[in-house]
Structure formats: structure tokens, C-alpha cells
Structure 1
């Protein structure tokens, strides 16, 4: 079992940011990354669609690739489906991602925290429960970013970030003032794994003093902990990565080369 891969999936290429953190923490492990771009964007679809896709992908990764753990590298899918998947697969360690509101509240000095995410994530019941549970620790300025995840994905094909930059500017401007003074937003939470690949643009817009938090490293630590508990860590590497997509393999290949430095043309198309 130790040499079985870890499954990672997202509605597109954004989950590559989580895969990057997982590889850094677990360099001996094998991974299967599945990009469900044919059925994206999850963040602008209803919960039933996201749950159906999450169940189908989990079944495929278990039956075809024999995964020993699953990482849901998508905030929207985590919010909609993680509890159901854990109930249906009690023998499978499952790690989800969620916006880092708690560490952001703890880190903020002005106690005004910005959160950007897909509409599906920031309007979900789970997200609102998380936010309400922390409302005495900080004020959260929440901004749904329609179209941003899709624009980041498309920038791989076009090699043009102008649309990404424009949307980042529009949404950060709508949130108010960023900085370290009283009333400023001094911490920005990335509530979508795609947004990590726009972090440089966001940092220029909000300023160098604003802390930007993503979820890749905490997810990697949690995955490592669960595998250690199960005695399922691979000790004999080197680790390998298989790339699978329901969309265009060339787009996934290009994203892996651009953002992860992969020298590969081995993405496989899977349709279901």
C-alpha cells in the first residue's frame, strides 16, 4: 500500500498549487493529479453538480489508480462534498482545502481580513459557518471573484495575463483599502487554489505590507500526518506524478511546465 499514489483533484489547473506543496513535503510519494476542466468552473455551478463530479472522480481514482489517500484541491468541492466523500469512503484518508480564515484572523493586526474566492465557495453554508464562528476575532471582507479562476486557466493557452490582472484589480478595488493603518485590510486570504498563480499580481495591487495566505502548505502537512498515522508513507522514492484531465491535455501540460517546472508531455485525457 505504501507505494500506491495519492490522488489530487481540482476543477481545473489551480490544484497544481496544492500538488506543488504536496511534492515539497512528500518528495518520495507518487501522485495522480486530475484536472476536471471539461466540467468547470465548479465555483459557478450548483452543489449537485459539484457533488456528482467529486463522487465520480473519487470512484475513478480508487478503481483505476488504487489511491491510498485523496486530496480535494478545490475549495468549492471541499465545501460541497468532503463530508459525503468521507462517509462513503471511511477507509480512505481524505484531506480538503478551505480558506484560511482562522490563521488570517490570528495574524491580522488591524483585524480586517480580505477573502477572495469563487461564488460557490464564499456563499456556501460551510464557509459562512466558518466565518461566523470567527466574527469576534476579525472582520472579514468577502469578495466573490466571478471569472478569475477561468481567466487564470485561459492565460496558460494565451500566454497573456491582462485579463487576470484586470480582474484582480477590479475585485481588490471593490474590497476597500489595503495597508497597515487602522481600518485597512492587512491580510488577504486566497479562497481558491487557482489564485495562487495570480499571487504576484495581487501582491502588487495590495502592497508589500499585506500578508497573503493560501492553503497548500497546511494541506500538505495534514496529508503527511494522516499517512504517518496510517503507516502508509512511501520510503523508497523517487516520487512520480501522473497528470490526467477531462479537458485538453496540452493545457494541463503547459500549466505544469509554466508553474511547476515539469518537463512532461504525458498528460492523459479521461472523459466520464
Structure 2
């Protein structure tokens, strides 16, 4: 598959669903001149309960599709896919600038005051070798204790689009309360879907009189790293007076993705259903 080497080529961003839009938001803010292709693999979601090989196969298939549409770089805007598949993507395309997302354990360890950090993520992310190695490294370096909480079913509920649904509120209470009871003063949002229910998370913290808990969202850091890689490769789009292009692709329902763009980001890009 041919990799684009022109600064004016688009950046491919993909997730199992709409969660990666939280990362896309940061990329658009920091790199406003870049054309973007967003791929939601909703027809194969969620990734969190799939085998590692399944996620690897999907990541490679989506990467191939984005490269066929001229992508010059790739953002794996999904914690589960980063943990399971980014090594395979980089091995297949060593010349492609690739940025993944991973739970922000390092900034959380720097932010905590009492050394107790809650990590809210999918079960697949928390079981991945990459995540477990990262936890061990940072624990050894900082003495921080990471309290792991799989948020089973939360991604599915967020994908439905009603971010204030009672089911989401109940899940957030069920998953966050035990972390607070164990003394966590910092909470890592270890899935790109979770920033979209930040209001609900903060409500749980207030209900437990723990509004002082620090929330860690790594979307901003991902966008900064993407900018650094593009600049190093000579691929930054300098920009002009033309409007940056944004297109959406999904293996699920195109109407649902278009609605997510509108509801979550206030955007109305062209969205196409594809068979990948």
C-alpha cells in the first residue's frame, strides 16, 4: 500500500466507534489546516470484548483503507486498538507516522498527591501486555499505585448517543465509587469515549464529595505528538485560505456517525458507509 508523502495529504484517524472524536477535537484545534479522514469501525465494535488478534486484523484492514485514500499519517484514536495492534501496524508500515493513545498513567502519577490513581478503561485495555508493562514501569519509577477498573458496557452505552441516559449515570456510579472508596485522588479516562461523559463523571465525584479528584484525558497530548511527528517528517500542512476537509467513514450506520459528529463536535462532514 502506497504511503502519501505530501504535506497536503490527509491524516487518518480511527476508532472502534465515536470515541475517537474526542481526539479528533484536539487535532482540529491544534492542527487546523490539516485535512482529516475519520474512520469509525462501528460495524465491528466494541473492541474491548474481542480477542487481540481480532483487533489486530481490524486495525490493519482500516489502516489499509485509509492509506488507499491518501493518508500521510495515522492516529489510532482507540486505547484498546493501541494496546492490541499498534505494534503490528508499525511493523507493516515502518515509514508511516503513527500515533496511538494509551491511558495517561505518567501524567496521572505526576498529578496524584496521595499516590493512588484510579484507571477507568475497557477490559481489553487493562489486560493488554503493553498496558501492564507501562503500569509496572511507572509504578516502579514513581511508587504510584494504579487501581484498575474495567468499565464493562460503558462504550456501548456512549455509542447510543444519549450521553445523559440513566444507564450511563448508573454505570459511572458503579465503576467510579469503588475507586473513590480506595482513596483515588486522580482518575485516568482510559478510553477515548469517556471524555464525552465527563459531566456525568464529575457529577459522581460531587455526589461523593470528591470534586477535588483530578481527571486525566490524553487527547491533547496525542495531538501534540502528531504535530511533532509531522514536523519531523516534513509533512506539516502549512495552511492557506482554503477550508480544511473532514470526511467520515464507518462500517456501521452512516446516519449515526453523522449524528455523532453533529451532537459531539457541532460538525456536519460528509459521511459514507463502507465495507472493509
> Structure 1 residue runs of 4+, over 4 Å off?
none
Q: Deviations over 1:110-135 (max 9, x none)?
A: 11000000000011111111111122
Aligned ranges 1:75-224 → 2 under 5 Å: 75-136=79-140, 137=142, 138-154=144-160, 156=161, 161-177=165-181, 184-206=183-205, 207-224=210-227
Which secondary structure state, in structure 2, belongs to the residue aligned with residue 142 of structure 1? strand
CA distance in 1, matches of 2:202, 2:82: 26
Which secondary structure state, in structure 2, belongs to the residue aligned with residue 130 of structure 1? helix
CA distance in 2, matches of 1:149, 1:169: 15
User: Mind listing any 5+ residue stretches in structure 2 that lack a counterpart?
Assistant: 1-5
User: Counterpart of 1:15?
Assistant: 20
User: Counterpart of 1:180?
Assistant: none
Which secondary structure state, in structure 2, belongs to the residue aligned with residue 184 of structure 1? coil
CA distance in 2, matches of 1:99, 1:122: 9
CA distance in 1, matches of 2:153, 2:39: 21
Which secondary structure state, in structure 1, belongs to the residue aligned with residue 194 of structure 2? helix
User: Mind listing any 5+ residue stretches in structure 1 that lack a counterpart?
Assistant: 178-182
Which secondary structure state, in structure 2, belongs to the residue aligned with residue 115 of structure 1? strand
Which secondary structure state, in structure 2, belongs to the residue aligned with residue 113 of structure 1? strand
How many Å apart are 1:91 and its aligned residue? Answer: 1.2
Matched, 1:26 2:28: no
CA distance in 2, matches of 1:208, 1:27: 33
CA distance in 1, matches of 2:80, 2:268: 30
Higher mean alpha-carbon deviation, 67-76 vs 227-236, is at 227-236
User: Counterpart of 1:250?
Assistant: 255
TM-score, normalised relative to structure 2: 0.92
Q: Deviations over 1:16-72 (max 9, x none)?
A: 000000000100000000000000000111101100000000111111x11000000
Q: Deviations over 1:82-112 (max 9, x none)?
A: 1111111011100000000011001100110
User: Counterpart of 2:237?
Assistant: 234
